[in-house]
Structure 1
């Protein structure tokens, strides 16, 4: 395997571990330990961590090394505010520049998502289904795929990644039965396929805001580095 492929593989592995909470916020990411664990060179790990720093999932501190980025309720609120604006812009452009292929891909992504369980396991062993998370990301990406502005799409991808980290960190702590996420996704899709940008964008904004509100209302699991305050603080 080439050094470029090794770096890409290492990047994906560490990114997944951060998103899944295997590396906690503010946890030091030791290059030697990551190199030994992944059986890759320190150089590949360093390049991967540099990429993750650009993504905002890792922070680099002079003389101290790399750390998983911190999280906080205040950050999630700020992230959601910017994300709503960017996602809505992307969706409006996608609807304006829609194609038959876009409609078909969106329908296919939605179908796969609705046929996949959000969680797997039973009792205390229940956990988020990685397959659902992947399909959820694919659905939201398909929704804005024909956006004409590539810079908006790049920014949207970065913001989605940050929001996904919060969702996974707090997975399993949402209050069950209060939302029908499949229904929300379906309404957004139907409005987009009807070419009604105003309604589709409003529904998407509400969907993202509800997700943030649900997470903010959670009491996070007892994990080091989670700087959390209830919404009323």
Structure 2
């Protein structure tokens, strides 16, 4: 019997490569519209031609990379129109999912939301103190975890998958605002606290409105009050 890596090993390599490229797109180390050449990516991240190409196809399905027959792969654009569309889709999608989660979620779900909120608040305090790359990555993952916890009880795997996809597309906009010091963390904390209270009170309308406002503010710079 021939020896070698199995299918699971290949999938692990592809997922690891996709994760590394996804992270660098999100952090702006790979620029919008930048052409992605397989050989250059292999020298940077490792892997084989096949595994790198599969990783890029995976990111293409997520909307972070574009693939064309003649021109290969490139990072997707990050224009104002792109941002506006991502905000629209995330707001509508996540409000629907949150409404379903509030209707169907149990006490265990509430506990997971509370835990994710607590983790996010602790990490946001660290980011305010010192926003290096490691802390920024931890913060971004905590944002993702809180967003996921809010909707995970919605009962729809497809809604959850779509939320993850568009959350990933929004990461580079949010992280750019963080790098530029344009996020108002005091206002963020108030919104997130208000959102948690509304969710625990099963206030569907209030929670949906706060979530929409939070998504919009998270991806656009908001004015600071002195």
Question: What is the aligned counterpart of 1:118 among 122, 127, 131?
Answer: 127
**SS at 2:36 equivalent:** coil
Calculate the aligned-residue CA RMSD, in Å: 2.1
Indicate yes or no: 2:32 matched with 1:25.
yes
Q: How many residues align?
A: 214
Structure whose residues are more often helix by fraction: 2
Cα 1:178–1:186 change in 2 (3 A) is closer
CA contact (8 A) 1:28 1:67 kept: yes
Matches within 5 A, 1:42-61: 42-61=49-68
Cα 1:39–1:78 change in 2 (3 A) is closer
Question: What is the aligned counterpart of 1:203 among 200, 206, 210?
Answer: 210
**SS at 1:163 equivalent:** helix
Q: Mind listing any 5+ residue stretches in structure 2 that lack a counterpart?
A: none
| Whole-angstrom CA distance in 2 between matches of 1:178 and 1:143 | 20
Using CA pairs below 8 Å that are at least 6 residues apart, which structure has the higher relative contact order?
A: 1
| Whole-angstrom CA distance in 1 between matches of 2:61 and 2:161 | 12
Q: Who is 2:198 aligned against?
A: 191
Q: Who is 1:136 aligned against?
A: 143
| Whole-angstrom CA distance in 1 between matches of 2:90 and 2:58 | 21
Alpha-carbon offset, residue 65 of structure 1: 1.3
**SS at 2:98 equivalent:** helix
Q: Who is 1:63 aligned against?
A: 70
Cα 1:164–1:130 change in 2 (3 A) is same
CA contact (8 A) 2:95 2:212 kept: yes
Runs of 4+, deviation exceeding 4 Å: 125-128, 176-179
Q: Who is 1:94 aligned against?
A: 101
Cα 1:176–1:132 change in 2 (3 A) is closer
Question: What is the aligned counterpart of 1:35 among 38, 42, 45?
Answer: 42
Q: Mind listing any 5+ residue stretches in structure 1 that lack a counterpart?
A: 218-233
